[in-house]
Every structure is written in structure tokens, then in C-alpha cells.
Structure 1
């Protein structure tokens, strides 16, 4: 990944940019701590190997796909936008979600499971929750359905063809929906999965992406 082209230095960042930097920095610290905690738990706990059809495996596969689209959307707007706050947010989303997708890939490899799986996408989210303390409703999902919040090919093409503020608005609208879908998937994993490091990551996704949703809603309000 190439370095961000910051352009000529400016005397001072506007309040919005400073706010974005502060929030992104907090999110980065939270994610780093969660990753470190997950790695530590892997070395001290014997958690067993998830099965091919487990929620742990299904979440790992589906969230990889979900995250990689998020990376693609972020890189598209990073190239289209001249706005410092949008470009900074996009860079953070791209780097964070690429790292997490790699972590999910690595877990499947460590468990000796296929990256593709034997069941349609979303099957794990349709499994009833037994004894969950924080059950979330996943009614309406069917095996093979599109993942929640995933942008359609038509929406991705529209984003690529957009320019200026219109591109920023469309990106924020699509990414807000994308983050809400990721939070829904992570909450479903918290109800169904059992691997402790994976649960830690899922909880981190809920926390960090909920914060980014609030930030993006504020950024969108400034543009509409």
C-alpha cells in the first residue's frame, strides 16, 4: 500500500480534521489492544478446533468478504476525494479492515479449514441461538443471501463514476450501511461463536465500527 499523499503542509488543520484524527487515533488504539489480547489468548488457551460448519468458521469466511469490499470502497474514495477528513477515514478503514481480514484468513488456515467452506454464505447466521445472554434477532436471513450492508455491483460502479462531494456523499451512505451490516454480523458471532480470540475481534468490530458510524453520520450531515 502506498503512503498517503498529504500535499503541501497547511498552517493549521480545521476543527473537523482534528476531530477525525482524534477519533481515528482512539479507534486504532482500541483495535491494537484487541489484536494483542487475541494473540495472547491463542498462546495460553486450548480452545479446540472449530468445525467447518461452525459459526466461528462461517463468520471468519463471510467477514473476510465483507471487509475486503470495505477496503475496496475506501481506496476508491481515497483516490476520488480531495477532502482531508474523508481521505484519512478511508485510509484508516482500508488498513484496519485489511488487517482484520488477514487475521480471519489466518485463523481458518490454523484450524485446517477451507477458506471457501461447504455451506452457502450466511448459513451460520441462520442457526438458532441456544442460551445466548445477548441474543440479537437475525430473522429474515436465509443461507446464500447477500451479507448485510454489502454494496451491490451497481452501487460500486456508481461510486467509481462519481466525483467531488457527490462521491463523498455516496461513499458515506454506502459505508454507513456497510458498517451497520458488519456490526450485525459481529453481534451474531458474539451469540453463536465460541473461539475466544474471534469473540474478542467481533466485540472490537462492534465497538470501533459503531464509533465510525457516528463519525460518518456527522460527516454526511456536513455535506447534505
Structure 2
């Protein structure tokens, strides 16, 4: 008489089934991870996309604001200007780091071979008319200070510095918002949209604060 409770599968067979099950589960996890890791590469913006152009050009745009801000920390007359300058510089330097990380993740170089701001021209910006007569490599960036303006800012201190700093940074931020609006019209990647919207909110708030400060300075 046979014992009905005896497992019909020999121990070695059961072990093989378990081993195959574990191996199959591990393979599924590995495949899932591979797909997950590959997706950012497979869906990354192309080198000539507005996402990549924005990341490159806004990094350059931000770099000048950081330079102006560091001058403000050292040369501003009012403590309020120094505090604002420090906050702007730290914020925009952090954003530069984020955008450079994107470019690395997207496997594109930090600088392109095409003309600057081409992604904005393709978007039909009003800025295009001013850029039409410019050599591609010299295409202006919205709101940027000229070399002469930066040199002059570097020679000033106190109230004179504060006044010019407000003027240049208000214009600079307005140009940055123009670039943000341009990329937002192109249905960018989620991370680009989120940062662009944050830049717009932050810089519009700073424009308001700088405008009020400039008004007070003119009354002194």
C-alpha cells in the first residue's frame, strides 16, 4: 500500500523547478532594469532639439548672471543688494549644474556645432529679426550684458554699482524669461519644463524686487 502523502516529485526535480523559477525571476528583473536604464537614452532629446539648445544656451546665459552676482557680493553698496546677488548667484549656479547633468545624461556635448539660439529662431521668436544680420556664432542672447557693460560694472562700487546692477539684471532676467517662454512652447521634456517654469517664477519675482529697489535708489 502506497502512502498518499508522499510528494510525487523527487527532491532533485523540485530543486530544479525552484532553481528555474528563481533564475526566471532574476532574468525578468534584469530585463526590466535594462529597459529602465535604456529608456532615458532611447528617448533622450536629439542634439538639435529645443531641450538641448535650451540647456546649453541657458547655461551660458546663467553664467553671466553668476558673474554679475559675484561682483554684487563684493562691490554692492547696500546689504540688500549683496544678499540678493548672493542668492541669485547660488541659485543660478545650481541650475547650471542641473542642465549640464542633463546634457551628460542625454549623451550630447555641452556645446553644439550649430549657431547659438537656433532653437529659438526655429520657434519663430520676435527676437529673430534682430538676429538675422548677425553671424551665427555671434547671435545675441536675450538680455545679455555687453562686454563693455560688464567691464564698467566691474569698475563701480557703492550706489553707482547698485544702480547699474539693477538695470543689467532686470534686463538679463527679462531675456531669460523670453528663453523660458520659447522652450515651453515646444512641449519640452518633463524635467526641462519643470526647471523652466521654476526659472520663470524665480526670475519674475527678482525682477519685481529689483524694480522696487531701483525705484528707491532713484529717490535717494
Match for residue 109 of structure 1 among 101, 104, 109: 104
Match for residue 90 of structure 1 among 82, 85, 89: 85
Determine whether 1:190 maps to 2:216.
no
- 1:194: Cα distance to partner? 2.1
- Kindly report which structure 2 residues correspond to 1:171-210, keeping only aligned pairs within 5 A, or say none: 171-210=165-204
- Kindly report which structure 2 residues correspond to 1:13-162, keeping only aligned pairs within 5 A, or say none: 48-128=43-123, 137-140=126-129, 141-142=131-132, 143-144=136-137, 145-162=139-156
Q: Which structure is larger by alpha-carbon Rg, 1 or 2? A: 2
SS of structure 2 residue aligned to 1:192: coil
What root-mean-square deviation, in Å, do the aligned CA atoms of Structure 1 and Structure 2 show?
2.0
Check the 8 A contact 1:55/1:193 in 2, yes or no. Answer: no
What is the number of equivalent residue pairs in this alignment?
176
Q: Distance between the aligned counterparts of 1:89 and 1:102, measured in 2?
A: 20
Q: Distance between the aligned counterparts of 1:69 and 1:138, measured in 2?
A: 20
Show structure 2 runs of 5+ residues with no match.
1-35
- 1:207: Cα distance to partner? 1.0
TM-score of the two chains, using structure 1 as the length reference: 0.74
Q: Answer 1 or 2: which has greater helix percent.
A: 2
Corresponding residue of 2:28: none
Q: Distance between the aligned counterparts of 2:53 and 2:145, measured in 1?
A: 20
Once the two structures are superposed, residues 106-153 of structure 1 have per-residue CA deviations (whole angstroms, 9 ceiling, x without a partner) of 000000001111211110101136xxxxxx744424454110011111
Q: Distance between the aligned counterparts of 1:201 and 1:95, measured in 2?
A: 15
Q: Distance between the aligned counterparts of 1:128 and 1:223, measured in 2?
A: 38
Corresponding residue of 2:205: 211
TM-score of the two chains, using structure 2 as the length reference: 0.75
